[in-house]
Amino acid sequence: MPQLPVVAALAIQLALAALANLLVARWRLPGIVALAASMLAPWAIPAEDMGGRAVATLFEAVWALKVIDQARAPRALGEAMLHLVAIVDLRRARPVPPAVWFRGIAWAAAATAVATVAYLVASSGSALAPQLLAAVVFAYAVADVVDRTVRSIFRLAGFEVEAVQRDPVLSRTVTEFWGRRWNGLVHRWLDATFFRPLARRGFPHAGLVAAFVASAALHAYIAIVPLGLRGAAWMGGFFLVQGAIVFAERQLGVAAKPWARAWTVTVLLASSPLFTWPLLAVLGLRPLPGD
């Protein structure tokens, strides 16, 4: 495969994803082929540019979800293309008077400062535990920066879009963390694509398993391009573990326990290295074990 700079690879990816979006509603197989070709494009970025590959796969994951949305529930072409390139779910946007969202901008600035400090701590050559903890803070803050920045831009353009992040730190259970507060865009897609169809047929547990397996596969793809099979196994494993934790806390009735919040913080932090160590590796701060 020819080697391409990140911008060129992203342009090819987007063109192929747009072609898939155009085709998939009427001609399913050609649309799937175009989407598959789009998902291969990040491998054209030089292997040593792990950050560039990671950015390309993150964009690709969002585009793939949008194309699958179009296959499942086709909409007018112009609306479908806008939905493809928007980070948010435009179906949930509502027009509002254009305005500067000062609170959102302030929160984004504060989260940027937190992310910067966390990155400096992680890159300072400190011991593994502080690095992993700093990576947790970095990932949380970056997600908040993206969410508030995108919402601020849409507000300025005259649209209010739904929050992707809903203060995940306030979660009382792991189920609440993944089901209501963290990355609502992906959660709603998994819910509509996997959980609800099986739950309606009387198989809610199978729907939950399918949703977490699909999430694991999606994140494994994001990791495999920059980090290879080992990174994909770590990242995918993290989301499989989260599914097991959700099942466990339902059996234990954690939501009604006085120690629910302590449980949530403990199990999320204990399992987080499966996510944060690959993040450190992508940032070039610490190789995965065995590398």
The torsion angles phi and psi of 95, rounded to 5 degrees, stand at -70, 140
Are residues 68 and 58 part of one domain? Answer: yes
- Average of per-residue pLDDT values in the chain: 94
Do 10 and 60 meet the contact criterion of CB atoms below 8 Å apart? no
Q: 41 and 121, same structural domain?
A: no
pLDDT tens for 64-106 read: 999 999 998 888 888 889 889 888 888 788 999 999 999 999 9
Strand boundaries in the chain, DSSP class E: 94-95, 159-160
Last residue within a domain, chosen from 56, 85, 114: 85
**Domain-ending residue, one of 136, 165, 194:** 165
Q: Which two tokens stand for residue 287?
A: 């190789």
pLDDT digits (tens, 9 = 90+) for 210-238: 999 999 999 999 999 999 999 999 999 99
Residue 289 lies in a domain: no
Which residue among 85, 106, 124 closes a domain? 85
101 and 149 assigned to the same domain: yes
**Domain count within the chain:** 3
The span from the CA of 229 to the CA of 210, in Å, is 21
Residues 230 and 265 in one domain: yes
Q: Does 215 reside within a domain?
A: yes
Measured CA angle at 223 (ends 217, 229), to 5 deg: 85
Residues 69 and 6 in one domain: yes
CB 255 within 8 A of CB 249: yes
Dump the DSSP string for 218-266. Answer: HHHHHHHHHHHHHHHHHHHHHHHHHHHHHHHHHHHTGGGSTTHHHHHHH
pLDDT in tens, 116-151: 999 999 998 778 999 999 999 999 999 999 999 999
**Residues 125, 46 share a domain:** no
Residues 6+ apart with CB under 8 A from 193: 68, 72, 214
Q: Which domain holds residue 134?
A: 91-165
Over residues 24-65, the pLDDT tens digits come to 988 999 999 999 999 999 999 999 999 999 999 999 999 999
Provide the residue type at 270 as one letter: A
In a domain, 288, yes or no: no
What the block records as the tokens of 11 is 């342009």
Residue 182 clears pLDDT 90, i.e. is over it: yes
- pLDDT of 265 strictly over 80: yes
Q: Tell whether 161 and 173 lie within a shared domain.
A: no
Q: What is the mean pLDDT of residues 252-277?
A: 96
Task: Report which of 167, 154, 143 is spatially closest to residue 101, judged by C-alpha positions.
Answer: 154
Exposed (0-12), middle (13-18) or buried (19+): which is 43, by Cβ within 10 Å? middle
Measured distance CA(38)–CA(57) in Å, rounded: 10
In a domain, 290, yes or no: no
pLDDT category of residue 1 using cuts at 50, 70 and 90:
low
Whether 182 and 257 map to the same domain: the answer is yes
